[in-house]
């Protein structure tokens, strides 16, 4: 006896699925015979993502990453990757991602072509060719004008494009300034021209746009902090550009000096710290180093930071930090050392516990900067020169932090107030050479040196060299066609 069974809904779905898949399979076989390797379903592997696409490369961009659509034959990728001109680096892998880490920061003002052709995926098929053109940021800096309509104004000079832009209006006299990390804005303090001419330092805190690395036009001015109740003494911009620390004095009681934190466009927040002098924000943007009577105090800027303050009693000033925050250059005024009285010493202090004396001088230690890899330290120091009266002789040195070897680079005129700035790629040093008024020179300027001498002119110089400024063929020195002072490279 025959037994019949009706098809259930599941049976019907299964049969329909089998039919559809069979038709698709037949179609794929037919298409393969017609189009061969040109079919979409047989597309070659490719570079899915390039992290430097449409980006101006900075000194902080130390590696480009290629992300592939399929697992790759890594050897063929490494053998077929080319960069013109040569840009030394090392290759590492993580799954389908290949990273090329630069040995040195990409020199500013340069361009490179990256090409990958002939590499294979793991199954043996050749990948689609890849090519990219990358550009580093332009070499650019800001400085203070000295003469004519530029006097006391903030000026941007794009060295790569040979373009000069006056950023601030003539009614403001700029005192100090710092660039934001994306170089789109400059944070600065300035005093109204009328107040400055009357000897009043009624400065406020502003930002001005540069027109670089953004769609924003230059010269857009914005007030950040006024001076209605407190006089602004100085400020520091955090390396991440998110925080500003300002030191202010109460207008009704000039002896009351306090530190204030500005962030997220909120009202200034007073920091709980004793009075102090020179201060600097560490590279982590979370720690403030303040010079106080007995040494250097390190305090957190965030409520969730480590509440345990660190205190360094043997040092009197932090000059600079390395970009990764693992090292600092500090001054010991040798007040506790009888043999070194009336001298000061430059120390390297690291997070690994190293505290190494680098230089001792009977003059002053004016400024220092680490190169990008923190292998060398560049400093402007002075030594006392005996004559009719003792005078300070400034000079520029390079210090190898591994061997502690000190290499003189150049000597400046006596009594010179020198501002030095090391380029972010480590290949150039800017400095100024100020001319001050004499008895035979009329005082026609309101700008003055730290010693109160009227400034009548200032030449800007550029020293170009390799990473350490110690090679025999290094040290190309050129005078720039600019009259200004206090030059600072943009990041």
Least reliable range by pLDDT among 394-398, 404-408, 447-451 = 447-451
pTM score of the predicted model = 0.87
pLDDT in tens, 157-187: 999 999 999 999 999 999 999 999 999 999 9
90 domain-assigned: yes
Rounded-to-integer distance, Cα 462 and Cα 489, Å = 11
Share of the chain above pLDDT 70, in %: 88
130 pLDDT higher than 50: yes
Residue at 61 is within a domain? yes
Residue 413 lies in a domain: no
Q: What is the pLDDT of residue 117?
A: 97
Confidence of residue 36 (pLDDT cuts 50, 70, 90): very low
* pLDDT number for residue 309: 59
Parallel, antiparallel or unpaired: strands 89-94 and 56-57: unpaired
Give per-residue pLDDT as tens, 269-310: 999 887 788 999 999 999 999 998 789 999 999 875 554 558
- Looking at the domain assignment, is residue 57 inside a domain? yes
DSSP class per residue in 156-209: EEETTTTEEEE-S-TTEEEEEEEE-TTSSEEEEEEEEHHHHHTT----EEEEEE
pLDDT at 326: 95
The whole-angstrom separation of Cα 404 and Cα 377 is 10
Domain coverage including residue 64: 47-136
In a domain, 82, yes or no: yes
Average pLDDT over residues 26-47: 61
Q: Provide the number of structural domains found in the chain.
A: 1
CATH no. for residue 108? 2.60.40.1220
Average pLDDT value for residue range 79-106: 97
Q: Is 237 a member of any domain?
A: no
2 falls in which pLDDT band (50, 70, 90)? very low
Average pLDDT, the chain: 88
Query: In this predicted structure, what is the pLDDT of residue 285?
Result: 96
Express the helix, strand and coil content of the chain in percent, nearest 5 each.
10, 45, 45
Residue 255 near residue 263, CB atoms below 8 Å? no
Helix (H) or strand (E) holding 422: strand 420-422
In a domain, residue 119? The reply is: yes
Burial (Cβ within 10 Å: 0-12, 13-18, ≥19) of residue 252: exposed
Residue 84 lies in a domain: yes
The arithmetic mean of pLDDT across residues 237-264, rounded, is 92
Backbone angles phi, psi at 40, to 5 degrees: -60, -35
Pairwise pLDDT comparison (19 vs 7), residue with the higher score: 19
Check whether 257 has a pLDDT greater than 50. Answer: yes
Tell me the pLDDT tens digit for each residue of 307-344: 455 888 889 999 999 999 999 999 999 988 878 888 99
Confidence of residue 19 (pLDDT cuts 50, 70, 90): confident
């Amino acid at each position: 006896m025959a037994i019949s069974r009706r098809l259930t809904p599941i049976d019907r779905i299964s049969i329909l699925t089998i039919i559809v898949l069979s038709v698709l399979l037949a179609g794929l076989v037919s298409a393969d015979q017609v189009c061969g390797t040109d079919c979409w379903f047989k597309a070659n592997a490719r570079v899915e993502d390039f992290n430097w696409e449409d980006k101006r490369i900075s000194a902080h961009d130390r590696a480009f990453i290629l992300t592939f659509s399929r697992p790759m034959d890594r050897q063929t990728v490494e053998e077929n990757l080319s960069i013109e001109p040569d840009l030394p680096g090392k290759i590492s892998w993580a799954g389908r991602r290949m990273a090329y880490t630069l040995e040195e920061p990409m020199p500013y003002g340069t361009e490179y072509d990256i090409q990958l052709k002939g590499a294979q995926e793991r199954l043996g098929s050749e990948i689609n060719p890849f090519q990219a053109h990358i550009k580093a940021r332009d070499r650019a800096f800001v400085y203070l004008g000295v003469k004519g309509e530029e006097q006391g104004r903030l000026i941007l000079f794009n060295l790569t494009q040979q373009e000069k832009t006056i950023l601030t209006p003539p009614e403001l006299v700029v005192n100090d300034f710092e660039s934001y990390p994306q170089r789109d804005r400059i944070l600065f303090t300035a005093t109204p021209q009328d107040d400055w001419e009357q000897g009043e330092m009624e400065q406020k805190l502003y930002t001005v746009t540069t027109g670089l690395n953004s769609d924003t036009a230059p010269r857009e001015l914005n007030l950040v902090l006024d001076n209605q109740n407190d006089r602004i003494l100085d400020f520091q911009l955090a390396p991440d550009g998110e925080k500003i620390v300002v030191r202010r004095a109460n207008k009704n009681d000039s002896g009351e000096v306090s530190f204030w934190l500005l962030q997220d466009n909120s009202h200034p927040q007073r920091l709980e710290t004793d009075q102090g002098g020179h201060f600097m924000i560490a590279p982590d943007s979370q720690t403030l180093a303040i010079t106080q009577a007995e040494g250097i105090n390190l305090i957190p800027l965030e409520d969730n930071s480590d509440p345990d303050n660190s205190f360094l009693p043997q040092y009197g000033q932090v000059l600079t930090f390395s970009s990764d925050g693992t090292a600092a250059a500090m001054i010991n005024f040798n007040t506790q050392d009888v043999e070194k009285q009336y001298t000061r010493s430059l120390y390297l202090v690291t997070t690994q516990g190293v505290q190494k004396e680098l230089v001792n001088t009977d003059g002053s230690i004016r400024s220092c900067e680490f190169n990008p890899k923190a292998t060398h330290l560049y400093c402007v120091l002075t030594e006392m020169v005996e004559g009719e009266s003792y005078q300070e002789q400034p000079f520029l040195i390079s210090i190898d932090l591994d061997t502690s070897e000190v290499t003189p680079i150049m000597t400046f005129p006596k009594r010179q107030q020198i501002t030095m700035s090391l380029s972010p790629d480590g290949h150039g040093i800017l400095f100024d050479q100020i001319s001050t008024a004499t008895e035979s020179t009329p005082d026609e300027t309101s700008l003055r040196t730290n010693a109160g001498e009227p400034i009548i002119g200032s030449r800007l110089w550029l020293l170009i060299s390799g990473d350490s400024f110690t090679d025999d063929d290094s040290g190309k020195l050129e005078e720039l066609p600019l009259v200004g002072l206090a030059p600072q490279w943009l990041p």
